[in-house]
Structures are given as structure tokens and as C-alpha cells.
Amino acid sequence: MEKINSLQNAHVKAWKKLQTKKGRKQQGQYLLDGWHLVNEAVKAHVAIQTLLITAKQLATEPDLTHFPAVIEISDEVAKHISATVTPQGVFALATLPAAIEDLSQLDLTRPWLLLDNVQDPGNIGTMVRTADAAGFAGVAFGTGTVDIHQPKVERAMQGSQFHLQLISTDLDKLVDQLQAQGSPVYGSELNPQAARYLDIDAPASFGLIMGNEGNGMSRELLARTDQNLYIPIKGQAESLNVAVAAGVLMFGLYR
Amino acid sequence: MEKINSLQNAHVKAWKKLQTKKGRKQQGQYLLDGWHLVNEAVKAHVAIQTLLITAKQLATEPDLTHFPAVIEISDEVAKHISATVTPQGVFALATLPAAIEDLSQLDLTRPWLLLDNVQDPGNIGTMVRTADAAGFAGVAFGTGTVDIHQPKVERAMQGSQFHLQLISTDLDKLVDQLQAQGSPVYGSELNPQAARYLDIDAPASFGLIMGNEGNGMSRELLARTDQNLYIPIKGQAESLNVAVAAGVLMFGLYR
């Protein structure tokens, strides 16, 4: 088995660059960090090129038959290429999927969650997990939203990234596609024209847009929605966490 | 105005200890970190003893009339006593409220959220904010749950801690109190006896228990619930984030 111990190694430098969008695009790969994600990826038949593993993890005698190549790395290398402070010591190099350009390929028979300029990887991961649990068909990462394959986003999705369709797209195009087939698109911005979410009888297919943590949805996108929804606030809280609001709306609309 | 610059100062050592439950109890105080929390506390008439503020914050000429005492601190002291990496440079020393021993003093005309051994300050803060927004009367921090006045919990509550009643208690006692007045107590553990939350017609007053992130509710408490509820999972996600599940249940039960 090949062993790599030095931070000066050219492979290590390349793996480190997978933390950036530019690096992932140039190398056509992304990094999955930790056994849970790696195992979920294997189950989902994700194309994994190489497993990187520390001696300590090798000592647990894991089943390595799923991986075309395995490289042993030092603890120092593991720490260097991970986005977490205390990595488990196992990583998969997965092939970056081709971007879906033709949105008519998407499953639009069930709802979609649209993320408009959402910034926090934890919130994004939680929303993807919740969309998975609520039976949504997919999640669209709009321009300005953190990248799907950013390591912290990948970790926060906890495997749900392999259960539904995830796309990066100009959200305008997906709104076009949904509305063209008669599926309504709902916004989530508190304004005088908004309807109480419980009063909506949503069809089997719709789009739900969640906006930026501080500033909400973009004006342009809001203007294109069929209906804007609000969650009635009874207490004195100024707002809900965006992932909690998304959960209440997803489960409330799609029962 | 008194100025304190040294980490060796006895006051600074005492403030640092407010990060621990023992330190808060011994000194009868807790720390509120950042303008947002301090201003919310002032609005809510929380008993603040002293404001600690850096020169940089003083230069913005804030209104200091609300504070019985003001001490200028160095950036170094601010960093030392804060639980965050980049503190704003303003803290309030607030009086630790007396523990509520007599639960009959609580407002039990509206719902209560009960936290059974919940560990993550972010999750706890988000649940308190959501309970506030959903119009709950209060949140009970059970034995094993992180302390109400832990600095990270205080920050994550974002001011909602001043909008509803928060108590630390043996949850058994609150279950007694609720059930004695005929209010049902709902669990949130997936098991064969669980009812779908949407099928429940909850009264104006009830208790909802959320359990530990990994292990769920304690057996003993689960046995005492009137009904155990589940959120139907349609996709392949293994579970929901505890704060999202709490949001779906709170808004679903109390409309």
C-alpha cells in the first residue's frame, strides 16, 4: 500500500485544494470526510476513486474491497486536508458529478427546496436532511449559496446528499421549469401579501424558496413567486432559524 | 471610570469563572456577551450589576445610563472572559435569578417545552427561540441538559431567554404538575406505540419533551408520557435534527 506522510507531497497539496471550489473543479474531485459519509457514499454507489486512511483506522481492519485504490496517510496529513479540527482519519476522493444543465431531466413530480443565497453550512446541511426526511425530490443551490461540495456542507448533510437530487443552478431557471408545468413556487418572506402557510393546500409538486439568514430572499425572485408564505409568530421572537422555518414549512405543506 | 487591563486582576479571574456553573453559583452572577443580548436584557428589566466595555466600544458613545456601574476593560481581558473567539467587547454582569422551587408558580395555561438531556448549546438556543415564536409559556431544562446560563446557550437564545419562563428542574416534577391539572405530556420517540403528530388535537396547555441528540428520551420519562408522537419520515434520512423536529412539533401541535 502506498504511504504518504509529508505535507510537502504533491498529492497532499492537491487534496488540500479540494477545500476550495476552484480546486474541486480543476481536479474533478471532492472529499468525503469520515466513515459515516464514506459508507453512505458506498451504499449510494457514488464513484469513489481512492480511500485515504490513517494507520490507526487501518488497525481496526475495515473492509476495503469497495475502493479501487487505498493510500495510507499520516495523522498530520489527515489533519492538514480535513476541514474539521479532529478528523477521524478516513477520507474518500469522489468524482465530481457533471453539472446538470438540462433541468427537464429533474424529477419534478415531488417538491423541491430552493436555497437563495443561504450562507451557513450547518443550516444548509440541516435543510437538506429535512428535505430528505420530508420526501422532497431535490434541493437546488442557487447562485450565492455555499457550494454543494464544500467539505463542511458535505459533512452537515450526513448522507442525505445521496438520497435526493442536488443541483447548483440559477434559481430563475428552476422557477421557469416548475411554473411551466403548473407547479406553484412559494416564497418565505414576511410581507403584507403573504399567506399563512397552514391556509395553503399545496399540490404534490411545488417549489419552496428559503432566503439568506439575514436578508431573506432576493427581490427579483420574490417577485416571481406564485404565493409568499409566513409562519405566524405568537411570541416575541424576532425570527426563526432558517432551518427550523424550512422544516415547519416543508412538513406543513407536504403532508 | 475604573479600568482593568490585567489578566492577573482578581475581578478578571472571577469573571472568567462565570463560564462554569460552579463559578456562576458561587458568585450569584452570569455573563451576557455582546450588545444584542445586553440590550435585550435591559429591555426585559433584567437586574444588571455592571457593564464591562472596551475602549473601542466606548468610542461609539453608547448610552450607559441603564447600568449601575461601568468598568473599562482591555481587548485582552474581553477575549479572556468571553466564550467566543471574537467578542464584541461588551458584557453585562447580571444577577443569577433565584431557582424556582415551587412549580405551581409557573404559567401552565400555555404549552411547555421540556429538554431531557439535550447537549448542544446551539440546538438548545434554537429550541428556546422557536418555543418563544410558537407562543409557548416556557422551557424546562432537565437534569443532564446543559445549564441555562452557560455563555454559549445564552448567546444562542438571542434574547428569547427574556421572553418566556426558563427553569432548571427535575422534569418528573413538571410532568407531575402538568398531569395534575389535566394537561397531557407528549414524548417524541419513534416507537410502535407512537401516534402521528398531525393526528393529535392538542389542548391549550401541554408538555412536549425533546430528548438527547443521540440517545433520545430517558426510559423513565418516556414511560410517564400520556402519548408519544412521531413525525412521519418519507425519505431515507435516518433522523431529523432535534431543533427542527421540535419546531415541526411545536408549530404542528399549537396552531
Q: What is the pLDDT of residues A150-202, one digit of tens each?
A: 999 999 999 999 999 999 999 999 999 999 999 999 999 877 789 999 999 99
Sorting pLDDT into bands at 50, 70 and 90, what band is A205? very high
Mean of the per-residue pLDDT values of chain B: 95
Q: What is the ipTM of this complex?
A: 0.91
Section B174-186 average pLDDT: 97
Section A136-160 average pLDDT: 95
Which of B40, B188, B251 to probe the A interface (max A CBs under 10 A)?
Answer: B251
Please report residues of A whose CB lies closer than 8 A to that of B248.
247-248, 251-252
Residue B95, pLDDT > 90, answer yes
Q: What is the pLDDT of residue A100?
A: 86
Sorting pLDDT into bands at 50, 70 and 90, what band is B90? very high
Which of A236, A239, A253 to probe the B interface (max B CBs under 10 A)?
Answer: A236
Exposed e or buried b per residue across A136-149, where buried means at least 16 C-beta atoms within 10 angstroms of its C-beta: bbbbbbbeebbbbb
Report how far residue B173's alpha carbon sits from residue B102's, in angstroms, rounded to the nearest whole number.
10
Would you tell me which residues 111-140 of chain A have a C-beta closer than 8 angstroms to some C-beta of chain B?
122, 126, 129-136
Residue A146, pLDDT > 80, answer yes
Section A68-82 average pLDDT: 97
Would you tell me which residues 71-90 of chain A have a C-beta closer than 8 angstroms to some C-beta of chain B?
none
Q: What is the pLDDT of residue B6?
A: 96
Which of A127, A163, A248 to probe the B interface (max B CBs under 10 A)?
Answer: A248
Section A21-28 average pLDDT: 96
User: Among residues B10, B14, B37, B247, which one has the least CA distance to residue B136?
Assistant: B247
Range of lowest pLDDT (A133-137, A251-255, B70-74, B205-209): A251-255
Among B129, B233, B236, select the one facing A237 at the smallest CB separation.
B129
Among B163, B237, B246, select the one facing A133 at the smallest CB separation.
B237
User: How close is the nearest chain B Cα to the Cα of A84, in Å?
Assistant: 17
* Domain boundaries defined on chain B: 2-95, 103-253
DSSP A41-92: HHHTT--EEEEEEEHHHHTT----TT-SEEEEE-HHHHHHH-SSSS--SEEE
Residue A101, pLDDT > 80, answer yes
At A178, list the grid cell: 416548475
Sorting pLDDT into bands at 50, 70 and 90, what band is A37? very high
Please report residues of B whose CB lies closer than 8 A to that of A126.
241, 244
CB contact under 8 A, B133 and A233: yes
Would you tell me which residues 162-201 of chain B have a C-beta closer than 8 angstroms to some C-beta of chain A?
163-164, 198
CB contact under 8 A, B132 and A235: yes
Report how far residue B172's alpha carbon sits from residue B206's, in angstroms, rounded to the nearest whole number.
14
Please report residues of A whose CB lies closer than 8 A to that of B234.
133-135
CB contact under 8 A, B129 and A255: no
Please report residues of A whose CB lies closer than 8 A to that of B120.
none
Sorting pLDDT into bands at 50, 70 and 90, what band is B27? very high
Sorting pLDDT into bands at 50, 70 and 90, what band is B152? very high
Topology annotation, domain B103-253: Alpha/beta knot (3.40.1280)
User: How close is the nearest chain A Cα to the Cα of B247, in Å?
Assistant: 6
- In this structure, whether the domain defined by B2-95 belongs to CATH 1.10.645.10 is answered with no
Instruction: Give SS3 for A253.
Output: helix
Exposed e or buried b per residue across B196-235, where buried means at least 16 C-beta atoms within 10 angstroms of its C-beta: ebeebebeebbbbbbbbeeebbbeebbeebebbbbbeeeb
Instruction: Give tens-digit pLDDT for B210-240.
Output: 999 988 999 999 999 999 999 999 999 988 9
Point out which residues pair with B210 in neighbouring strands: B115
Q: What is the pLDDT of residue A176?
A: 96
Angle between helices B121-133 and B242-253 (to 10 degrees): 10
Which of A213, A234, A242 to probe the B interface (max B CBs under 10 A)?
Answer: A234
Q: What is the pLDDT of residue A190?
A: 73
Q: How many CB atoms lie within 10 A of CB A182?
A: 8
Instruction: Give tens-digit pLDDT for B103-131.
Output: 988 999 999 999 999 999 999 999 999 99
Residue A99, pLDDT > 90, answer no
Cβ burial of A180 (10 Å; 0-12, 13-18, 19+) is: exposed
Tell me if B2-95 shares its fold with B103-253. Answer: no
User: Closest residue of B to A251, CA-based?
Assistant: B248
Q: Are B108 and B137 in contact (CB under 8 A)?
A: yes
CB contact under 8 A, B130 and A234: no
Sorting pLDDT into bands at 50, 70 and 90, what band is A25? very high
Q: What is the pLDDT of residue B131?
A: 98
Instruction: Give SS3 for A127.
Output: helix
Please report residues of B whose CB lies closer than 8 A to that of A163.
235-237
CB contact under 8 A, B248 and A248: yes
Alpha-carbon distances, residue B159 vs A239, B19, B65, B130 (angstroms): 11, 18, 21, 12
CB contact under 8 A, A238 and B159: yes
CB contact under 8 A, A237 and B130: yes
At A206, list the grid cell: 411545488
**Is B101 or B245 the better-scoring residue by pLDDT?**
B245
User: How close is the nearest chain B Cα to the Cα of A71, in Å?
Assistant: 30
**Interface A-B: count of C-beta contacts within 8 A:** 104
User: How close is the nearest chain A Cα to the Cα of B233, in Å?
Assistant: 5
User: Among residues B68, B64, B63, B121, which one has the least CA distance to residue B95?
Assistant: B68
Sorting pLDDT into bands at 50, 70 and 90, what band is B189? confident
